[in-house]
Amino acid sequence: MRQTTTERVFAMLRASILSGELAAGTRHSVYQLAGELGVSRTPVREAVLRLADAGLVTVERNRGIRIRGVTAEDVRDVFELRLLIEVPAAAHAAGSADEALLVELKEASARLHELAATDDTTAFGVADRRLHALIASAVGNRHLVAEIERLRDLIHVRGASTIGRSRTTRDIAGEHDAIVAAVCAAEPAAAARAMREHLVHTGTLLMRQLSEGEIDETWAERLRSPSGE
């Protein structure tokens, strides 16, 4: 399907934000962006509204747009939502994933470990996202997969990462092993527990990095299900 100009501009701006080319905290005018992209201002305005809806930019009256930064509170908000979505999704995958999906999941896990042995953190991040998307796809709801991507963008776009700061790519790849093993073994409770542990650990590390003071280390406890997962 052929992309509209607005879709093309949205994709280009989103990529520039994710790569850091449009850095967090910087301001840009629609007129300036239109000139740089070689398009009229209308598709840029429309693309900017989509970026604002996705939480990637803030539209400031008479001042253009500002690329959003990230705080420990932002991280907590995002990871609470991810816990509510991805923990039950992992349990569902463990009970319903077909053989084709399990093969893809094992390949994605192997790819994650392969990239963890390199310095290509960008490709590693893409592989990490694919693994999570495959698990979520077992639910059969494309909006759920898209929402997880959107939530991850809200953190990634602002430069928040644990890689090379509080853990290595090998550490991260290893955290996914228990999730993949439980899904492939058709053990829903174990898959939910492993996904929860991974997300809580990731969220906590990011909150520590971004907080100027102490954080509530028990932040995720209120989201436990009645079964304790």
Maximal C-alpha separation, the chain = 56
Half-sphere exposure of 5 (CA within 13 A, CB side): 11
State residue 217's pLDDT score: 86
Query: What is the pLDDT at residue 18?
Result: 72
Tracing tokens 């809580």 back to the chain, one arrives at: 200
Residue 144, pLDDT score: 96
pLDDT of residue 159: 59
Question: Structure tokens of 24?
Answer: 């967090």
Predicted pLDDT at 25: 83
DSSP code for 144: H
Indicate yes or no: pTM above 0.85.
no
pLDDT at 77: 93
- Predicted pLDDT of residue 122: 86
What is the per-residue pLDDT for 124?
Answer: 94
8 A C-beta contact, residue 144 and residue 89: yes
Average pLDDT by stretches of 10, the chain with 229 residues: 84 82 88 94 93 86 82 90 97 95 97 94 93 97 94 73 80 96 97 97 89 83 70
Tokens describing residue 161: 């990462």
